[in-house]
C-alpha cells in the first residue's frame, strides 16, 4: 500500500525512530500492541476487519499506548477522527503522500506531530507559560473590562476532549444566555471539522474563532489555529505565537489567564480530560478572580492529567463526572446573574 510505504519512509528518515511492526488491519494492531508494546502507534482509520476507532478503543482499554491518528482522507469520515480521539488518541494528522516521482508531501507535519507527542509523554510536567504568559503581558496593565458584560463560559480540553465537549454541549439548552469559548488541543487542519462535528451534537452554533471576533450569546467559539487564542483588553479574541516554546498549542493556560486579566464579571470555567498539566494554572487564576471553576473527575476522564493538575493546585471548586458538568455550568451562570460580583 502506498500509504504504508509513505509512513515507512517518513519514520525511517529520522535517525532516532524505528518501526517495531506493521499491522494491516485493526484487529492485528490490537494483537501486536499487546504482544510488543511500542512507544507510539500511527493509526489509520479506514482498515478491514476492525477500523481505527475500534482498534483505538481496544488498545486504550487493554494495553494503553500513545496513538496518533494518521488518515489519508477525512472527507466523509471526519467523525471517525473525533471518535478515535474520544477513546484516547492524542492527535491527528494527514497521511504523507508519496508521489509518482517518489517525493513525499506532508512528511514534516507528521514528524512534528511525533516530536510533540514524544515530548509530552516523556515529560509528565512540561513547561507551563510564565505567570500571565507572554500573550497576556503584551497588554499588561490594562484594567479589567467594565462590569456588565455577558456571562462567559470557558472550557479547556485535550486527550478525549472532543467526545467530552460533545457530551457537555448536547446537555445544554438550545438558548444559553452566556458567551462560550472552547480551547481544545487539536491541529488547525481539523479545527473547522471539529466545530462542524460538535455542532451536530447540540443545538448551539459552534464556529472557529476568527481574529477580532467577540464572545457573544448564540455562538460557541472554538480555538482554530496552532497559535494561542487570547482575550484582549478590548474584549476581542486574537491569536498569538508566544509563548513559542509551549508545546500545548493552543494552550488552555494562555487563554484562561488572558480571560482572568480582561473579562469581568466572573463566569464559569471548566477543565476537561487531557494529558499533561495545561490549564491548571489558568483555572487557578480564574478562581482567584471569583470565577466558578469545575474540573472533570478521574473516573470519566480518558486521561486524568489536566484535571489532576487543577485538583492538586486547588484550582477547581468542584470535581465532577462528565454527565454532571453541563448542569453545574448552568447553575454557575445563574448564580453569576443573581449574585453581586
Single out the catalytic residue among 158, 251, 258, 264: 158
The H or E element that residue 68 is part of is strand 67-71
Q: Helices marked H in the chain — which ranges?
A: 2-12, 26-35, 52-62, 78-86, 107-122, 133-137, 161-171, 188-199, 252-262, 280-288, 306-312, 322-338
Cis preceding linkage at 243, omega within 30 = yes
How far are the Cα atoms of 22, 59, 60, 84 from residue 31, in angstroms, in the given order? Answer: 11, 9, 12, 18
User: At which residue does the C-alpha cell 455550568 appear?
Assistant: 329
Single out the catalytic residue among 133, 167, 185, 191: 185
Contacts of 259 (CB under 8 A, 6+ apart): 152, 154, 181, 231, 269, 282, 286
301 is catalytic: no
The answer to whether the CB of 296 falls within 8 A of the CB of 308 is no
- Give the closest residue to 230 by CA, choosing from 220, 217, 243: 243
User: Between helices 161-171 and 78-86, what is the axis angle to 10°?
Assistant: 100
- CA 271-275-279 angle, to 5 degrees, is 35
Single out the catalytic residue among 44, 187, 278, 297: 278
Contacts of 15 (CB under 8 A, 6+ apart): none
The answer to whether the CB of 40 falls within 8 A of the CB of 114 is yes
191 is catalytic: no
Q: What's phi and psi for 239, nearest 5 deg?
A: -115, 140
Q: Which residues are catalytic?
A: 158, 185, 278
Amino acid at each position: 500500500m502506498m500509504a504504508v510505504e509513505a509512513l515507512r519512509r517518513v519514520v525511517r528518515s529520522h535517525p532516532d525512530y524505528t518501526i517495531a511492526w506493521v499491522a494491516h488491519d485493526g484487529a492485528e494492531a490490537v494483537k501486536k500492541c499487546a504482544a510488543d508494546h511500542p512507544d507510539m502507534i500511527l493509526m489509520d482509520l479506514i482498515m478491514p476487519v476492525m477500523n481505527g476507532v475500534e482498534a483505538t478503543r481496544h488498545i486504550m482499554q487493554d494495553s494503553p499506548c500513545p496513538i496518533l491518528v494518521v488518515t489519508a482522507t477525512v472527507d466523509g469520515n471526519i467523525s471517525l477522527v473525533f471518535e478515535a480521539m474520544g477513546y484516547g488518541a492524542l492527535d491527528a494528522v494527514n497521511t504523507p503522500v508519496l508521489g509518482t516521482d517518489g517525493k513525499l508531501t506532508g512528511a514534516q507535519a507528521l514528524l512534528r506531530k511525533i516530536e510533540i507527542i514524544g515530548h509530552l509523554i516523556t515529560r509528565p510536567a512540561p513547561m507551563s507559560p510564565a505567570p500571565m504568559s507572554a500573550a497576556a503581558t503584551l497588554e499588561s496593565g490594562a484594567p479589567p473590562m467594565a462590569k456588565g458584560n455577558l456571562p462567559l463560559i470557558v472550557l479547556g480540553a485535550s486527550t478525549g476532549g472532543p467526545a467530552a465537549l460533545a457530551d457537555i454541549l448536547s446537555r445544554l439548552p438550545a438558548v444559553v444566555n452566556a458567551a462560550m469559548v472552547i480551547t481544545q488541543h487539536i491541529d488547525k487542519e481539523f479545527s473547522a471539522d471539529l466545530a462542524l462535528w460538535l455542532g451536530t451534537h447540540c443545538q448551539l452554533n459552534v464556529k472557529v474563532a476568527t481574529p477580532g471576533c467577540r464572545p457573544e450569546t448564540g455562538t460557541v467559539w472554538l480555538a482554530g489555529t496552532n497559535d494561542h487564542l487570547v482575550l484582549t483588553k478590548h474584549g476581542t479574541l486574537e491569536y498569538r505565537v508566544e509563548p513559542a516554546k509551549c508545546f500545548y498549542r493552543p494552550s488552555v493556560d494562555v487563554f484562561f489567564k488572558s480571560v482572568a486579566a480582561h473579562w469581568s464579571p466572573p463566569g464559569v470555567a471548566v477543565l476537561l480530560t487531557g494529558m499533561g498539566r495545561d490549564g491548571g494554572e489558568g483555572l487557578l487564576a480564574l478562581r482567584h478572580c471569583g470565577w466558578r471553576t469545575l474540573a472533570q473527575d478521574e473516573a470519566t476522564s480518558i486521561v486524568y492529567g489536566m484535571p489532576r493538575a487543577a485538583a492538586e493546585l486547588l484550582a477547581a471548586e468542584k470535581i465532577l463526572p462528565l454527565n454532571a458538568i453541563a448542569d453545574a455550568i448552568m447553575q454557575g451562570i445563574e448564580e453569576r446573574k443573581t449574585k453581586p460580583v
